[in-house]
Amino acid sequence: MGNFLTGSGWGIAALQSLLYVALAPLLVGWLRKVKARLQNRRGPSLLQPYRDLYKLLAKEARVAHTTSPLFRAAPYIVFTATWMAAATVPLLVVDLPTAAIADIIVLVGLLALARVFLALAGMDVGTAFGGMGASREMLIGALAEPAMLMAVFTLAMTAHSTNLSSVIDHHLSDGFVLRPSYLFALGGLVLVAIAETGRIPVDNPTTHLELTMVHEAMLLEYSGRHLALMEWAAQLKLLLYGTLIVNVFFPWGIGQGLSPAALGLGLAAVVGKLAVLAAVLAVGETVLAKMRLFRAPAFLNLALLLSLLGLLSHVILEVGA
Amino acid sequence: MNLTLLPLLQQLLLVLAAIVLFLSFVLLAQVRLISAIHAFAWQGALVAAVTAVVAATGQVHHLYFSAALTLALKALLIPWMLHRLTRRLNLERHTESLQSPALVTMGAVALVIFSYWLVLPMIHAEMTFTRNIIAISLSVVLIGLLMMVFRTQAVAQVLGFMSMENGLFLAAVSATDGMPLVVELGVAFDVLVAMVLFGVFFLQLRDSIDSLDVDRLNRLRETGGDSQ
């Protein structure tokens, strides 16, 4: 970590976090496009999520009479916490100052903060749907968080550090190594990501059917810029998990210096990897049906089991006393 | 031992062994019989792959033969026989209701840790990389045992028994470069005979209690003349 705490390091870090915000709707647009193609539809344009956000931002925000100030503050807190969490995940280059000030555990904590405020806002309105969505979100969150932490610890044990930059550096310097623990951690983290970002086997992001929705149920009373921020935060979370998966498990191509060439290569690599990941996710969502809510604990148990096996196989097979 | 210094083939071996362990967990928690049989077939195929890779890395040629034998027997023949039996007994759509599956899974994780602790002195004694797999194979054996205790369906219990055998075979391959060929052939024949006997046993069981749920064997039933 030579080049952090320099002016250019901070500049690139700021650029990277802006890039997160700018790219998040594009990823969702691409995901919807691939899904539409798989269903023999042409689908909306790639830029449609940007247009939706622009439309919502321009509209007037209406707030229900029964709400407390928390309801107005929640979108800003959720968006900022998710954004801060995203800023700690290396997107283009490793060794940025933002990666040095926060490790993976802080990232999990920031995401938990966003989730708590989302759930509080859902309950604050006092409608039945908001409370229902909040309770379901907390059920999923409470089960997903241990699985995610276990997967994170598996990575941390291999790299002897909980810092994401060091984990990626360690993985890059090892070259191509087949690690059983990484395989299991990848499986666990993918399942957690699907549950946390509300994708299909767990939650359907396009539904407004009252019996099944989780994330949408909490946003029902939001409108205008508040809704735009909430939607944007959800898209940001998807990009965050996607980047975490592709850059930790397949770090090849990520920039290791601050030169423009390294940055350009890093951008091209991460965009390519994310496009592939989103296409795989779209295929998965097309093939699978949404499961009943009460099956979600079993799904997340599988994630926890995978992460635990990752930890155990690291100890048993890779360290070997 | 440093994993990064091992050749790629030996890393592959560790990955395969880890997946064998994962399939044991799948077998333990899978409620659909047909899917459980498929998981068992995959486990057999992976054990055969582990054997083949050990043969390739250690230049032990007779292991190729055991790999082929395992593949034919554990991945093709026995699953096929079980498949045919479940179809004959109309159990294709059968799903078993497990009691507290999460707790049993965590129990299995505890068994993995226990077997690692048990094998630890052995790993200290010698530093071959396949020694690490002994803990995995011991846990496959223990999880098979747990499956036989925990599942009430007779076909699932047989799957547990067969996966125990998979674990023993894995232990033999990883610890000692495989057993002598005569022993191996004997074990393979034993397993095959056991499978045929289990088939007869299933049919008898269904004839006498109308189900393959062995828990019902524990219940007292009034039979015989005047009490009815």
Taking the Cβ of residue B89 and every Cβ of chain A, the question of whether any pair is shorter than 8 Å is answered with: no
Q: pLDDT by residue (tens digit) across A260-280?
A: 888 889 999 999 999 999 999
Contacts of A313 in chain B (CB under 8 A): 14, 18, 21
Asked if the structure places residue B228 within a domain, the reply is: no
For residue A2, is it within any domain?
A: no
- Does some domain include residue B112? yes
> Of B1, B4, B132, which is closest to A177 when you measure between CB atoms?
B4
Is B118 at the interface with chain A, CB within 8 A?
A: no
Q: What is the pLDDT along chain B (228 residues), one digit of tens a residue?
A: 567 777 888 889 889 999 999 999 999 988 888 999 999 999 999 999 999 998 888 777 888 888 999 999 999 999 999 999 888 888 888 788 788 888 999 999 999 999 999 988 876 776 566 677 888 999 999 999 999 998 888 888 899 999 999 999 998 888 777 778 888 888 888 888 988 898 888 888 888 877 778 777 777 766 655 444
- Give yes or no for B155 touching A (CB within 8 A): no
Among candidate residues A117, A250, A140, A277, the one with its CA nearest the CA of residue A201 = A140
Q: What is the 3-state secondary structure (H, E, C) of chain A?
A: CCCCCCHHHHHHHHHHHHHHHHHHHHHHHHHHHHHHHHCCCCCCCCCHHHHHHHHHHHCCCCCCCCCCHHHHHHHHHHHHHHHHHHHCCCCCECCCHHHHHCCHHHHHHHHHHHHHHHHHHHHHCCCHHHHHHHHHHHHHHHHHHHHHHHHHHHHHHHHCCCCHHHHHHHHHHHCCCCCHHHHHHHHHHHHHHHHHCCCCCCCCCCCCCCCCCCHHHHCCCCCHHHHHHHHHHHHHHHHHHHHHHHHHHCCCCCECCCCHHHHHHHHHHHHHHHHHHHHHHHHHHHHCCCCCHHHHHHHHHHHHHHHHHHHHHHHHHHHCC
Find out whether A72 and A227 touch, Cβ atoms under 8 Å. no
Interchain pair A183, B14: CB under 8 A? no
Domain for residue A159, yes or no?
Answer: yes
B114 touches chain A (CB under 8 A): no
Most B-contacting residue of A172, A179, A307, A316 (CB-CB within 10 A), to test interface: A316
CB contact under 8 A, B8 and A178: yes
Q: What are phi and psi of A39, to 5 degrees?
A: -95, 15
A188 found inside a domain: yes
B218: in domain: no
Distance from CA of A201 to the nearest CA of B (A): 18
- pLDDT more than 90, % of chain A: 58
> A with B: how many residue pairs have Cβ under 8 Å apart?
74
Give me the mean pLDDT over the A314-321 stretch.
76
Residue A189 has pLDDT above 50, yes or no: yes
The model's pLDDT over A202-223, given as tens digits with 9 standing for 90+, comes to 888 777 777 778 888 888 889 9
Q: Are residues B17 and A317, on separate chains, in Cβ contact within 8 Å?
A: yes
Q: What percent of chain A has pLDDT over 70?
A: 98
Nearest to B3 among A179, A298, A305 (CB): A179
Given B11, B12, B105, which is nearest A301 (Cβ)?
B105
Q: Domain span at residue B33? A: 3-92+99-208
Alpha-carbon distance of A7 to A4, in angstroms, equals: 8
B91: CB partners within 8 A, 6+ apart: B33, B155, B212
> Least CB-CB distance to B15: which of A183, A297, A309?
A183
Residue A101 lies in a domain: yes
Contact B113 A312 (CB under 8 A): yes
Residue A6, φ and ψ in degrees, nearest 5: -95, 165
Separation CA B79–CA B98 (nearest Å):
22
Separation between Cα atoms, residue A147 and residue A301, nearest integer Å: 8
CB contact under 8 A, A179 and B15: yes
pLDDT 10s digits, A219-247? 888 999 999 999 999 999 999 999 999 99
Q: Is ipTM beyond 0.90?
A: no
A11-28 per-position pLDDT tens digit: 888 899 999 999 999 999
Q: What is the pLDDT of residue A1?
A: 45
CB atoms within 10 A of CB B24: 29
- Residue B153 pairs in a beta bridge with B213
Host domain of residue A86: 7-319
Q: Which pTM was predicted?
A: 0.90
Domain-located, residue B217: no
Distance from CA of A296 to the nearest CA of B (A): 13
CB-CB neighbors (< 8 A) of B120 in chain A:
321
Q: How many domains does chain B have?
A: 1
B120 → closest Cβ in A174, A184, A321: A321
Name chain B contacts of A297, Cβ cutoff 8 Å. Answer: 102
Q: Please tell me which of the candidates B3, B102, B120 has its beta carbon nearest to residue A177.
A: B3
Any A CB within 8 A of B197 CB: no
How open is the CA angle B166-B172-B173, to the nearest 5 degrees? Answer: 90
Kindly list the residues of chain A whose beta carbon comes within 8 Å of any beta carbon in chain B: 174-181, 183-184, 297-298, 301, 305-306, 308-309, 312-313, 315-321
Report yes or no on A1 lying in a domain. Answer: no
Which pLDDT tens digit goes with each residue over A58-72?
A: 999 999 888 899 999
**Looking at the 3D structure of chain A, how many domains does it have?**
1
The torsion angles phi and psi of B211, rounded to 5 degrees, stand at -165, 165
